[in-house]
Structure 1
Amino acid sequence: MSGNGGPQYRIAVDSLPLEAQCRYWKAQVERQPLEARRDYLLQLNLEEAQKRRIARECGVARKDKPLQQLPCTEEEFKAKEQWFMRLPGSQQQESNRRSRLMVSLENRLRAAGERSRTDCIKQWAAENSLALSTVYEWRKRIANLEPTHWRVALVPDYGRQGRPALEVPADIWQGILNEWANTSKPALKPIYRRAKKVAAERGLKLPSYETIKRRLDALPRLQKIWLREGEAALEAALPSMRRDYSTLALHDEWNADGRVADVHCRWPDGTVGRPVLLAFMEQRSRVIVGWAIGKTESAHLVRQALSNALYRARAVPQRLYLDNGRAFASKEITGQQATRNRFKLSEGDVMGLATLLGAQVTWATPYNGKAKPIESFWNTIAREVDKRREFVGAYCGNAPHNRPEDHDVSRAVPIEAYERMVGEVIEAYHQRGHRGDSMHGRSPRAVYDELAENAVARQPTEAQLKCCLLAAEQVHLTREHEVVVMGNRYGCDELTALGSRGPYTARYDPDDATQPVQLFDGERFLRAVPLIAKTGFADREAAQQHARAKNAQKRAVREQARAQLDMDKAFSWDTRESTGNEISVLPRVGVPKLLKPAKDYRAPSKGAVATSGGMSLEEFRAARDRGQELSEQRLQEHEPRRAAGGM
């Protein structure tokens, strides 16, 4: 018949052999879009299911046709691919091998042409040492699937090999899980034996020990960590936060922490113990700006380290990232700033050193070694200082079970030697390359020097540096208006003039009690209060000197009081008569007028020139002068009374 391109031959499909018809319809199905193929195969499955149901209801024997496998959608394939990637490597390798074999079989069938497909499959199975049933099972799995989906469909199933799975009763499984999920990490074997005994008493059969173990192993990893190891292990297993150090400027933030040394040292007073090293690190450059060593971690040691940092860096940080220890959280360091144990702030509290410097305090997360960058620096100290050959015998290890056999407290090293070694290691650390974020392999000192050229930082004042050397304590004046600090009395005459007995802030040198105490009212400096030294019972000179000073003070007080009384009496008006009755006083006139006598009754002087009023010029002038003097005298006498409102 004619058609496009000339004469054509058209053959009815039904006239072809059955095998040719199957190949034709399969090719037609493969050419269709995915959704169309799914719909077509789904329709075939529905028809087959309906025929099975009708035959079952009618009681007719019928040979069921296998249901067609539906091709995967993109969403289904992505989900199966993710499942495939989580399989063990051995299963993935076996699946890939099977997929390659199926590709070679399909290529062999296409090249076979008119040859029988069954004979071709048998020959291929023999060449690859595969059972014919295995080949047909694999072909059944990949039917209607894309070649890219074959490896997911051909995953080996090493499971029950067709046997039904044994179910574990819910209560027995819960009992196994409750015993196994314990931070003491009990072994599974005795738990399984007890559970098996309970199941036998109830006439039940448990799966094998390996099956129970596989089910427990299949639990999510983080859940197993929390159940068997606890909260801290779960926290360590989670990914930690990483900070970008390039966003920091020089002296934006300092972080501080303390560490107990693993070496026994001897102090000059004979005390033997493990010293505490406390250090402040500049966070951007990782430079140790200040450090101090003491017997215990205390506010005094923190103040020494911070004072050393301020003197060396000559800069005040914007923020301080501190450990949560009591030494850092003391009022002497962080007074008038909130802590995890100080919720209510009072205006009368001691102003801490950090508050005085204007540095904002941030507290690190408790019991979290990753919270402070300085934590990694302690590993350097542990490796390069504590384990030096010079400290063999004095080294005690970081835990009792790590204590070396040759450890002996009597071999403690001088504290001066330990301090010298710490200083040398810190200087070497500053010159060594650093692998931290934004360091680019450069040393902390090189980064610090580079950033210091253009850095803008607050400079500490001399008063602030001086306060760093002094401890602070909130005090109240005693009844004698004295200050008591560390059991010593400090006082002076000016303290008696203070209107209130406190509270005040006393800043003092804890290493030298003879120095005066600096007394503050909040931020306002009041004065330096000297020490009142104690004297012996037989010291007559000291007693006489104290008595003279006391009498002089009493004499000065009496004289000041009398002068005050005389001044008050001079500027007051006695408004009572001799009888004690109060005199009624009228208000004072605005402008007083001088009185002039109407007639002078004195004899005229000789040689005086007479005037028209019977007085010579000289007599008139003399009278005028006397009148002025008399008026001035009366004004001076009556001025206090006028000030009191009298006439």
Structure 2
Amino acid sequence: MGNTLANSGWGTAKEYCEEGLPGLPTTERRCLDRLGKFAESFANKSRQRNGSKATEFHYSILPPKSQAPLAQRYPELFVSRQFQPNQNNSEHESRDILWDYYSRKTDKAKAAAQVRLEAVQMCTTLLSNGWKKTEAKEQVVEVFKGRTKVSFHTLGNWLKKINGVDQADWLPALVDGYTGRQTDSKVSPEAWDYIKADYLRRERPTWSSCYERLERAGAKPGWVIPSSKTLQRKLNKEIHPDLITLLRDGEDAYKKTLPAQERDRSVFHALEAVNGDGYTFFKYVRFESGEVCRPVCWFWQDIYSGKLLAWRVDVSENKDSIRLSIGDLVENYGIPKKFWLDNTRAAANKDVTGGVKNRYRFKVSEDEPLGLIPQLGAEVHWATPAHGQAKPVERAFGIGGIGEYTDKHPSFSGRGTKGTPIPIAEFEEILTAEVAAFNARLGRRTKICNGRSCDQVFNESYEVSRIKKATKEQRSLWLLSPEPVTANKNNGSIKIMDNRYWCEELSHYKGQKLVARFDPANMHGEVLVYTLDGRRVAEAECVLAAGFNDREAAREVAKQKRRRKKALREAEKAELRISAREASKSLPQVESPKPLEAKIVEAVFEKKKFEQGLSDSGDRFDRAVAMMKPAKKSLL
């Protein structure tokens, strides 16, 4: 019964009799009559209980002396928690100020204001139920004496605070206004400038040493200097804490004061995006070449799951190890769509990222060959070096990461110095095992993993994702190193590191710029030749230099020349099916053009001197002939 009355504030005559309230009969019948008379003076204070024929009454119709025990037993009945916000726009600004003041209070002050609110609500409820003000206040003091320091006078002050205030704003109105001891100690401007200049610098002097120098500097001029604690509180209050960090700890420490950008990896699927970076281990390793140094490993990590997909160990972070690690990645899993890496000299080398725009470290020339990643059809995105938010793989190198587990492996205990280096084969074996353990470790706390391992998350997404595999042609991209070359203008041969390469197809590219891909470990093998835009055109063989007196090599070269010449002659027969004379017969017969008659004739009115001279010569010749004729006749 008690729960029904305590929860709703409504009870039957039987339930009120069981409470044993003063001012009410002890029998159910007489209590019902008494409650009916009380209800006649109030509207909507009696009703039929749901699912029953009994009549129930609200506790507010009871006289104060009957309500007093209920206030002790069920104080929540007298505390209204239903707030109706004030809709008065003219008071909106003042309400914002009031609630802003409340929000800047401590939890202790807010809890005390909540108890005051309950006490005030009980008092107003009792007054609305017909209690006298004195009796209501005394009853509230009695109920709340164990919860807060409340007196008759204090409760009156609380009621004054809420006078004229909307009920929705009673809580901030009742919060304690005490803010603690506020002292504004005087300090000379010269002393204030001195302590800031001395304390806020990169040398990071201690506060005690700065304050001691301040006292010495201000002793003679008589500066006003408060106590050390007061002055330190003033500096921490008036100088922004991030500015203090910037001036004393530098740029790197200041960057940590800014919230890191939260990157949602769920936008990717497995192998859609990868990021890579190099890590230098602390153990010393002896490589097959005999060199002893700390090994550098380049890792590729799947951004979606965090799984380490591929890696290569070398003496340094170089373009060959990065290129070969990309080959391992593509061979084992497929071709990612996006690559994230920083623009260091090794990572942004032209073999890997050639032709990519916005390469900050190198220029992009027009005849620059495409790098491995662009030729795979993937995108390159640049990240900030040593920035874990931009490249998640760097987090795998920290505490609890692959670096610690490998460097501190029990198999390497007492070894790994310059004097006792670890064989590279053993180091790679341990590294492979630790990478597998890293990927299989449960309890990953990323949003994607949510307690699962990187392997589980990667495999689940990989099985349902569209993965692009590499072709045979693409596999040669990472196995061979690209080298820009120019074909010889006479024979089309190319030269790489003092080695000459040639094949028949290169004859078509004499004097042109090409790209040759070769295996650095096998310089006498074949090289693949491509155009600048990535089209494969030839597989050239190495033309080895023979000894000056090597007749066998000379005979072999002569045979090759004869075979090539014979092949060209056969090609000539196949291509030239008619001779030049036969081709000339196909030309049409051309007739000589008829001379043209002049339509306009120019008149000549005087002879030129040259023509006159010819005319005179002709006259003299005629006269000489005439003179000779008679002489001939006479002789006859």
TM-score by length of 1: 0.63
* Pair 1:469-2:479 in alignment: yes
Equivalent residue letter for 1:83: R
Mark the runs of 5 or more structure 2 residues left unpaired by the alignment: 1-40, 42-85, 125-130, 136-140, 592-636
* Alpha-carbon spacing, 1:304–1:96, altered in 2? closer, same or farther (3 Å): same
Q: Cα distance 1:440–1:208, how it changes in 2: closer, same or farther (>3 A)? A: closer
Distance 2:473 2:150 in 1: 93
Other-structure match for 2:552: 545
1:520 deviates by 0.8
Structure 1 residue 343 displacement after superposition: 7.1
Query: Aligned to 2:542, which of 523, 531, 537?
Result: 531
Counterpart of 1:328 in 2: which secondary structure? coil
8 A Cα contact 2:344 2:361, kept in partner: no
1:596-631 CA distances to partner (integer Å, 9 max, x unpaired)?
xxxxxxxxxxxxxxxxxxxxxxxxxxxxxxxxxxxx
Q: In the alignment, which of 77, 93, 103 is matched to residue 98 of structure 2?
A: 77
> Which residue in 1 is equivalent to 2:429?
420
Would the alpha carbon gap of residues 310 and 554 (structure 1) be closer, same or farther in structure 2, given more than 3 Å must change? closer
In structure 1, give the amino acid aligned to 2:504: E
Mapping 1:20-39, distance limit 5 Å: none
Q: Secondary structure at the match of 2:105?
A: helix
> What's the offset of the Cα at 1:237?
2.3
Which secondary structure does the structure 2 equivalent of 1:377 belong to?
A: helix
Residues 572 and 273 of structure 1: CA distance in aligned 2, closer, same or farther (over 3 Å): same
Say whether the 8 Å CA contact 1:320–1:360 is kept in structure 2. Answer: yes
1:430 counterpart letter in structure 2: N
Counterpart in 2 of 1:512?
522
Deviation at 1:358, TM superposition (A): 0.2
1:409 alignment partner, SS class: coil
- Render the CA deviation track for 1:232-271: whole Å, top value 9, x for unaligned: 2222222222233332223221111111112111112221
Alpha-carbon offset, residue 557 of structure 1: 8.8
**Structure 1 residues 447 and 149 mapped into 2: Cα distance closer, same or farther (>3 Å)?**
closer
Letter of the 1:216 counterpart: L
Q: Structure 1 residue 281: deviation in Å? A: 1.8
Judge conservation of contact 1:142–1:153 (CA < 8 Å) in 2.
Answer: no
C-alpha separation between the residues in 1 aligned to 2:536 and 2:431?
A: 38
One of 177, 180, 186 as aligned partner of 1:157 = 180
Amino acid in structure 2 at the alignment position of 1:416: A
Would the aligned equivalents of 1:297 and 1:327 in 2 still touch at CA under 8 Å?
yes
Corresponding residue SS for 1:507:
strand
Given candidates 266, 291, 295, the residue that maps to 1:246 is 266
CA contact (8 A) 1:394 1:413 kept: yes
8 Å CA contact 2:323–2:352 kept in 1: the answer is yes
The question of whether the paired residues in 1 share the 8 Å contact of 2:319 and 2:352 is answered with yes
In 1, distance between residues paired with 2:438 and 2:115? 58
Mapped to 1, the partners of 2:223 and 2:302 lie a distance apart of 67
Question: How big is each residue's C-alpha offset from its partner over 1:7-60, in whole Å with a ceiling of 9 and x where there is no partner?
Answer: xxxxxxxxxxxxxxxxxxxxxxxxxxx999x99xxxxxxxxxxxxxxxxxxxxx
What does 1:600-611 correspond to in 2, within 5 Å? none
- Residue 326 of structure 1 aligns to a residue whose secondary structure is coil
In 2: Cα distance, 1:298 partner to 1:187 partner: 44
Q: Is the 8 A contact 1:338 1:344 kept in 2?
A: no
RMSD: 4.6
Equivalent position to 1:320, from 339, 342, 352: 339
The amino acid of 1:182's aligned partner reads R
Write out per-residue CA displacement over residues 71-129 of structure 1, whole angstroms, 9 at most, x where no aligned residue.
x94222122213323xxx78x499879979x98xx99xx99959xxxxx9xxx9xxx89
Work out whether 1:336 is the aligned partner of 2:355.
Answer: yes
State whether structure 2 residue 225 is matched by structure 1 residue 214.
no
d(CA) in 1 for partners of 2:300, 2:483: 24
Give the AA of the match of 1:409. K
State whether residues 299 and 308 of structure 2, in contact with CA within 8 Å, keep that contact through their aligned partners in structure 1.
Answer: yes
In 2, distance between residues paired with 1:303 and 1:181? Answer: 48
Aligned-partner Cα distance in 1 for 2:509–2:418: 56
Question: Is the CA contact (8 Å cut-off) linking 1:276 and 1:294 kept in structure 2?
Answer: yes
Contact 1:393 1:412 in 2 (8 A): no
> How far apart, in 1, do the equivalents of 2:180 and 2:440 lie?
60
Alignment gaps of 5+ in structure 1 = 6-33, 40-71, 115-119, 396-407, 574-635
TM-fit CA distance, 1:302: 0.7
Which residue matches 2:406? Answer: 385
For residues 443-466 of structure 1, the C-alpha deviation after alignment (integer angstroms, 9 at most, x for no partner) is 222223322332112221111012
Shift of 1:417: 0.9
Q: Which residue of 1 aligns with 2:376?
A: 357
Preserved CA contact (<8 Å) 2:503 2:538: no
- The count of aligned residue pairs is 479
Secondary structure of the structure 2 residue equivalent to 1:174: helix
Query: How far is 1:331 from its partner?
Result: 0.9
Residue aligned with 1:440, SS = coil
Q: Distance in 1 between matches of 2:114 and 2:588?
A: 122
Say which SS state the counterpart of residue 463 (structure 1) adopts: helix
Structure 1 contact 261–276 (Cα < 8 Å) conserved: yes
After the TM superposition, which residues 496-511 of structure 1 pair with which residues of structure 2 at under 5 Å, given as runs? 497-511=507-521
Task: Give the whole-Å Cα distance in 1 for the aligned partners of 2:162 and 2:535.
Answer: 91
The reply on whether 1:452 has 2:452 as its aligned counterpart is no
- Determine whether 1:187 maps to 2:206: yes
Measured in 1, the distance between the counterparts of 2:160 and 2:291 equals 81
Measured after TM superposition, the shift of residue 217 of structure 1 is 1.9
Partner of 1:31: none
Q: CA deviation at 1:644?
A: 8.4
Match of 2:364 in 1: 345
Letter in 1 for 2:380: V
In structure 2, the CA distance between the partners of 1:157 and 1:236, relative to structure 1 (3 Å rule), is closer
**Inter-partner Cα distance in structure 1 for 2:555 and 2:301:** 55
Q: Name the SS for the 2:347 alignment partner.
A: helix
Equivalence map 1:479-490=2 (5 Å): 481-485=492-496, 487-490=497-500
Pair 1:429-2:449 in alignment: no
CA distance in 1, matches of 2:324, 2:436: 19
Tell me how far 1:194 sits from its aligned partner. 3.0
Q: CA deviation at 1:409?
A: 1.6
Q: 1:502 to 1:173 in 2, by over 3 A?
A: farther
Residue by residue over 1:415-471, the C-alpha shift from the partner in whole angstroms, topping out at 9 and shown as x without a partner, is: 111111111122223333233222232222222332233211222111101222111
Q: Deviations over 1:257-300 (max 9, x none)?
A: 11111211111222111111112122223332222111111110
CA deviations on 1:489-519 (whole Å, 9 max, x unpaired) are: 1222637724543321110011211211111
Instruction: Output the CA distance in 2 between the equivalents of 1:502 and 1:320.
Output: 32
Taking structure 1 as reference, are residues 428 and 166 closer, same or farther at Cα in structure 2, changes over 3 Å only?
closer
Residue type matched to 1:155 in 2? Y
Q: Aligned to 1:255, what secondary structure does the other structure show?
A: strand
2:256 maps to which of 231, 236, 251:
236
Residue pair 1:321, 1:363 contacting (<8 A) in 2 also: yes
Matched to 1:168, the amino acid is: V
Aligned to 1:287: 307
Evaluate the alpha carbon distance shift between residue 242 and residue 94 of structure 1 in structure 2; reply closer, same or farther with a 3 A threshold: closer
Distance 1:556 1:308 in 2: 42
Corresponding residue for residue 224 of structure 1: 244
CA distance in 2, matches of 1:426, 1:305: 15
Deviation of the 1:526 alpha carbon: 1.9
Q: Give, in angstroms, the shift of residue 226 of structure 1.
A: 2.2
Q: Does the 8 Å CA contact 2:448/2:457 hold for their aligned counterparts?
A: no
